[in-house]
Structure 1
Amino acid sequence: MPLIWIFASLLALGAVGYAMGRRRAVAVAGGDARRLHSLPNYYGLNVLLAVLVPSFGVLFAWMLMQPMLIEHSVAAGLPAVTAEHTLVMSDVRRLAEGLKTAIAQGAMSGDDMRALATGDGTIRAALAAVGVALGSEVEPVVLIAAQSYLAKTQTGDVLRTIVVITLAVAGFYWAMGQTNTAFRARNTVERAVLVMLMAAASIAILTTVGIVFSMLFETINFFGQYQIADFFFSTTWSPNFRGNSQLGILPLLWGTLYISIIALLVAVPIGLYAAIYLSEYAAAKTRAIAKPLIEVLAGIPTIVYGLFALVTVGPLLRDYFAQPMGWGESGSSVMTAGLVMGIMLIPFVSSLSDDIINAVPQTLRDGSFGLGATKSETIRQVVLPAALPGIVGAVLLAASRAIGETMIVVLGAGAAARMDLNPFEAMTTVTVKIVSQLTGDTDFAAPETLVAFALGLTLFAITLVLNVIALIIVRTYREHYE
């Protein structure tokens, strides 16, 4: 059964369960809802939850686990030499999908698919009929693996449908059997909702843990092939898939921090001053117009900012600053990327700081005015210190956004991994090199590819440290105002 039909069936059964559960509750009470422990709606919701929650939970878990188990099983059946190449499984999946489409459209039958003993001519013709072309040389073992992959996938889909529908029906009858005047439906429903809320709150934590472990395992593989000291302390970045690579992270960290600092030097003052004006000085009509216009900057795609840096800002800085002063000849530079990125970060600082400043109690301002302070003194000595924790959070958000930016750096700063103080020289960042190392037909067992995971984990650690430091600063200042 197609996945969309399973979803529709579960939702339909849940809706029927809600109506029947509510009706049964009223029936067992003799038509008098006051004899029930809970309102009739809770009995309907109990049946609805008993149908949907277990079935959807198993369905999502099955969708996650089935592809991994099938790939592991198919890969185990390949020859050892072939199984070492991860690209083979991509070909297997592509062929399996092509075979499935060919059978669905009637271009070939199951008997044709199984007729590998006579060669792959029938399969080639059938796949070509549905727009799937094979390469000039396809190993028979790959075709056999594709057949196995398709067969196991189809078997898994059938079992998934049976298990999920059976679970939903069982939940329906179990919940209907519980419905009586003494059943505490409201308590059961509220506990179920609480569990779902806790699960929703855990998603962010589990996602973070998953990200860390996914990078950690590959990073361990990388350091098994490359010296950790050379990675963290070498000043040369020169990957070479033919061997003798130099994968020092220092030039990439320098470029990342250099560009991010310039971006923050642009975004923080402008954004903070804009927030102070909008919250403390601007009239209501001015604020209603200016704030949405500033926030429009946050909705512009980063590739547009990158093109703006490449076409406008880079040549402008080169022609009017770098060349006349003898600092550089290229339009791609740290200053170009930093300025454009700073413009992009302005709404992050401005909008968040504005909301935080507006959240400062008016009583603090009134008390300051009552003591004879001017408006500017009140802002500097009362409002901003009270709003400091939130402002630090806004700056941290902008810093994290700057550290993780890629497209503006690619188009505005270039891809040169070097350590230089000249802001008009081309440099690059960690994120750009992560993309470049994972782009193209690369060997995922090579250190030149695995280094991307080490770069990502290092960047994650740096961001975590920055957040911890900021949290300490926030708590230190917050003690004076609580």
Structure 2
Amino acid sequence: MSVSWVLAIILVIGVVAFMVARLRAARLEPQAGVKQHSLPGYHGSYALILAIFPAIIFFGIWKATSPVYIDSAVWRSLPEQVRSASDANRSLTMGTIYTIGDGMRRLTPAELDQVRSGQADLKALFASRGVALASSGEAYMIPAAENYRSMSDSSSLWSAVGAILLSLAGAWLGLSGITLRRRARNNVERVMLWGLIAASTVAILTTVGIVLSMLFQTLTFFQSVPLSNFFFGTVWDPRFAAAGSGGATGQFGLIPLLAGTLYIALVAMLFAVPVGLFAAIYMSEYASRKVRSVVKPVLELLAGIPTIVYGIFALVTVGPLLRDISAALSGGQPFIMAQSVLTAGLVMGIMLIPFVSSLSDDIISSVPRSLHDGSLGLGATRSETVRNVILPAALPGIVGALLLTASRAIGETMIVVLAAGVAAKLTLNPGEAMTTITVKIVNQLTGDLEFTSPQTLVAFALGITLFVITLGMNVLALYIVRKYREQYE
């Protein structure tokens, strides 16, 4: 039975349990001196929870662990000389066995007999059934494939039966104990509380897992490259080595990449923050309701445009335009290249405008109206009210919006690739090409490379560097938010 059918049956059992439990709770007759503890909806929800969640948890754990057990059992059944092969050969062997086992489900009994007796050409026979097999396999793969198929079918059957029976048992438990004093509401709220805790734990563990995965690979990288060469090096020249050579040569200076990342992000913020913030002030304080209903959605449309489209726009339009303008101003020799920091920063700034404007508008609109009216009542003009009252009160939220915008700018890749190039160099001229950390992470992980060479592992060092930068930005923003919140609350 397929996974979708099992989940559908469990869901149906849960819905039926909810409806029956709710109906039974609604028909409970009141007794003298005894009040009903929970509403009928809570009784139904509790029966629904008992019927669905334990069954789904059981089914999920079974489906996650059974392939590991089956893989281990099939591998142990193979001949000793096969099991002594390398990990790469093991993956190839097990993949062929699984393909044969899955393909045998499409064969007739007569064809299965031919396969077992070794009289059939597996590759041609499976091709006629739409199953691609790289080779005809070895003789020992046939019984292993049948073993795999038998265990997989049994596992699917028993997981489905167990999940459905567990769902029925949960529904029966939820329906059997419906009384006036049953604390169904407390049970439902307790389940919701643990669900929220589990969701928070998953988010935290995911973050910890990401950091640890980067950290371990980074430590491996620093075993080949000294810390000083990475953090204080001014030359980026990884010089990819051939596979198998170890690739210990090359220079991995972070400074050019870090400078390019911060420089392009700075240009983007210098363009996006004034435009976005002024747009937010206009929409929240000056624009009529009709104008606001049109302007705000149009600005937010910019956030939905894919970044690759912005990159093409920068490569085809903005870059050549800036180059031609600079050539006209200088009398022939352009001082702004088509791929440059200025090109990437301007286009990225356009992309960031809706982040600043939309978030800042929501923050400014949430400032208490009493502050606004009180300032106007004291004789201040609208602009003085915005400058001296609204913006200081909304400053903590605006700082958060700018932090989000800066993080978005630092993590951008496609616009930089197309608009700023991939040249890792140090320069203060915004008209020249530079690159960022994210672009080099993509470059180092692209292609058929060994995952043990410094040229590949440096991507993890770059990634954890970005993580530390954004963490520092969050800490700084939290300090600013707390400082001004104490002042204006």
Would the TM-score normalized by the shorter structure come out above 0.5? yes
Larger Cα Rg: Structure 1 or Structure 2? Answer: 2
Please tell me whether the aligned partners of residues 332 and 411 of structure 1 are also in contact (alpha carbons under 8 angstroms).
yes
Please tell me whether the aligned partners of residues 107 and 130 of structure 1 are also in contact (alpha carbons under 8 angstroms).
no
Out of 433, 436, 442, the position equivalent to 2:443 is 436
Shift of 1:226: 3.6
1:341 aligns with 2:345: no
Change in Cα spacing, 1:40 to 1:359, as seen in structure 2 (3 Å) is closer
1:197-218 CA distance string (max 9 Å, x none):
3333444323322322232233
Please tell me whether the aligned partners of residues 267 and 342 of structure 1 are also in contact (alpha carbons under 8 angstroms).
yes
* Match of residue 424 from structure 1: 431
AA at the equivalent of 1:39 = L
**In 1, Cα distance between equivalents of 2:95 and 2:377:** 74
AA at the equivalent of 2:431 = F
1:185-231 CA distance string (max 9 Å, x none):
22212222222233334443233223222322333333344433332
SS of equivalent to 1:409? helix
Shift of 1:62: 4.5
269-278 or 70-79, which deviates more: 70-79
Please tell me whether the aligned partners of residues 38 and 186 of structure 1 are also in contact (alpha carbons under 8 angstroms).
yes
1:271-315 CA distance string (max 9 Å, x none):
001111111111222111111111110111111111101111111
1:260 aligns with 2:265: yes
Identity between Structure 1 and Structure 2 (%): 50
* Match of residue 450 from structure 1: 457
* Match of residue 474 from structure 1: 481
Shift of 1:324: 5.8
**In 2, Cα distance between equivalents of 1:159 and 1:348:** 51
* Match of residue 53 from structure 1: 53
AA at the equivalent of 1:185 = A
* Match of residue 219 from structure 1: 218
Shift of 1:405: 1.0
AA at the equivalent of 1:357 = I
* Match of residue 196 from structure 1: 195
How do 1:43-442 residues align onto structure 2 when only pairs under 5 Å count?
Answer: 43-64=43-64, 82-83=86-87, 85=88, 89=91, 95=96, 98-99=99-100, 102-106=103-107, 111=112, 122-129=121-128, 131=130, 133=132, 156-239=155-238, 240-242=240-242, 243=247, 244-321=249-326, 325=330, 330-442=337-449
* Match of residue 468 from structure 2: 461
Return 5+ residue gaps in structure 2 as ranges.
none
Shift of 1:435: 1.9
**Count of paired positions:** 476
Change in Cα spacing, 1:394 to 1:26, as seen in structure 2 (3 Å) is closer
**In 1, Cα distance between equivalents of 2:128 and 2:4:** 27
Shift of 1:451: 2.3
**In 1, Cα distance between equivalents of 2:470 and 2:71:** 35
**In 2, Cα distance between equivalents of 1:7 and 1:29:** 35
* TM-score normalized by the length of structure 1: 0.86
**In 2, Cα distance between equivalents of 1:406 and 1:140:** 50
Return 5+ residue gaps in structure 1 as ranges.
none
* Match of residue 5 from structure 2: 5
Shift of 1:323: 8.4
Change in Cα spacing, 1:35 to 1:473, as seen in structure 2 (3 Å) is closer
Please tell me whether the aligned partners of residues 92 and 145 of structure 1 are also in contact (alpha carbons under 8 angstroms).
no
Shift of 1:468: 0.6
**In 1, Cα distance between equivalents of 2:329 and 2:110:** 73
* TM-score normalized by the length of structure 2: 0.85
Please tell me whether the aligned partners of residues 343 and 420 of structure 2 are also in contact (alpha carbons under 8 angstroms).
yes
252-261 or 238-247, which deviates more: 238-247
**In 2, Cα distance between equivalents of 1:362 and 1:426:** 48
Please tell me whether the aligned partners of residues 92 and 143 of structure 1 are also in contact (alpha carbons under 8 angstroms).
no
1:417-450 CA distance string (max 9 Å, x none):
2222222222221212222222233322333222
Shift of 1:316: 1.3
Change in Cα spacing, 1:421 to 1:82, as seen in structure 2 (3 Å) is farther
1:129-150 CA distance string (max 9 Å, x none):
3555455898999999988877
430-439 or 301-310, which deviates more: 430-439
Please tell me whether the aligned partners of residues 96 and 150 of structure 1 are also in contact (alpha carbons under 8 angstroms).
no
